Amino acid sequence: MLILVGLGNPGPKYAYNRHNIGFLAVDAIARRWRFGTERSKFQSLVSEGSIETPTGPVRALLMKPQTFMNESGRAVGAAVNFLKADPADVVVFYDELDLAPGRFRMKHGGGAAGHNGIRSITSQIGPHFRRARMGIGHPGHKDRVMGHVLSDFHKVEGPWVEALCHACADALPILAAGEDEKYQTEVMRLAPAEKLDPRKAAQAGPGEV
């Protein structure tokens, strides 16, 4: 079973924060592929469904950990242990400071690059899971990072956020087939975004990126 994890913080206060773009992505996946009703399990909100691929349907579990971002690994670890899943069956959608807003990159394994949610997951299941990195840009200085990720997307950013989440959902059969590089290419084809310096892009005013 494929485990698709969106990272974020629970509750309406955080719903449209930049840090919650992972939640927005898996919500788009649930709608596009008509996953079942959400329920509480593995310290998360989860739903199940299947994704049609050229070689047949792939069962998938969607997860939105409700542990708050820094403890996401407790939820993911519980699911992986219960399902006896391989870390390579886990794909985590999350906000990436080092990509310009709207950019998208897949990565397999590696470090956490300062992301506490990824660090927490690594502590529970090791580093060899798949990462779907969704660019939100960098505020330019580390002292401003917390305020940046925990602030809402500007209204003018709504179109690219929606386009990127929909692209992640529409291209999902490629990901389910295990072709991560092709998935990355297709997401960026469906939701093109200019390749900019993430620090300069995030510092531009609304509508300037």
What's the CATH number where 155 sits?
A: 3.40.50.1470
Residue 208 in domain: no
Residue 167 in domain: yes
pLDDT given for residue 208 in this prediction = 39
Give the integer Cα–Cα distance in Å for 122 and 30: 25
Tell me the CA end-to-end span of the chain in Å, nearest whole number. Answer: 38
CA 40 to each of CA 44, 79, 93, 135, 163: distance values in angstroms, whole numbers, following the listed order: 6, 12, 19, 29, 28
Q: Which domain holds residue 145?
A: 2-203
Residue 209 in domain: no
The whole-model pTM stands at: 0.94
Q: How far, in whole angstroms, is CA 54 from its chain's centroid?
A: 24
pLDDT given for residue 142 in this prediction = 86
28 within 8 A of 93, measured Cβ to Cβ: no
Catalytically annotated residues = 19
Per the structure, the count of domains in the chain is 1
pLDDT given for residue 203 in this prediction = 55
Give the integer Cα–Cα distance in Å for 63 and 125: 15
| pLDDT (tens place) for every residue of the chain, 209 residues total | 999 999 999 999 999 999 999 999 999 999 999 999 999 999 999 999 999 998 899 999 999 999 999 999 999 999 999 999 999 999 999 999 999 999 999 999 999 888 999 999 999 999 999 999 999 999 988 899 999 999 999 999 999 999 999 999 999 999 999 999 999 999 999 999 998 888 877 655 444 33
**In the chain, how long is the greatest CA-to-CA distance?**
48
Give the integer Cα–Cα distance in Å for 17 and 13: 8
79 within 8 A of 61, measured Cβ to Cβ: yes
Give the integer Cα–Cα distance in Å for 190 and 203: 25
Give the integer Cα–Cα distance in Å for 94 and 174: 19
